Structure 1
C-alpha cells in the first residue's frame, strides 16, 4: 500500500464503521481514523465554495489533510 493519506467515506452500521470503497490494507494492519460527520464537511464546503472559484473535491480533501497534519 502507498504511504499516501486517503480520505474515504464510511457508514456506521451496528457499531462498526464500514468503508464505502475498497482499502488496500493487510489483514491486522492498524490505521488512524478521523471521524467527521459528512454534513459538517458539506457545511464547510458551502461556506467557502466560490471564494476563489470551484475546486475538485479531491484537491480540497488533500488540502484539509495537509492543514490538519501541521
Structure 2
C-alpha cells in the first residue's frame, strides 16, 4: 500500500505533519519530492513567459518519459 504524507525536515529527522499509522520497527521507503509551488517559484521565468498550467503540462510530460 502506498500513502502520501507531508513531512517537515528538522534537526536531521523527517517529522510527519499529520498523524500516521505505521507498524513500529518496520522499514519504509521514502520518496522526497519538492512542493510544486516551491518548484514554480524556483524556476519561474527560466523558460520565458509561461503560465502555471504550461509548467504543470511540462512536468507531466517529463514524468511520462
- Compute the TM-score of the two structures, normalised by the length of structure 1: 0.51
Q: Deviations over 1:36-66 (max 9, x none)?
A: 12223xx3xx3227xxxxxxxxxxxxxx8xx
Q: Does the alignment pair 1:25 with 2:22?
A: yes
Which consecutive aligned stretches of 4+ in structure 1 deviate over 4 angstroms post-superposition? none
2:56 is aligned to 48
Q: Give the whole-Å Cα distance in 2 for the aligned partners of 1:24 and 1:9.
A: 14
Aligned pair 1:13/2:10, yes or no? yes
* TM-score (norm: length of structure 2): 0.55
Bigger Cα Rg? 2
Q: How many residues align?
A: 45
Alignment RMSD, CA only? 2.4
Give 5+ residue unaligned stretches, structure 2: 41-51
Residue 33 (structure 2) aligned to one of 32, 36, 52: 36
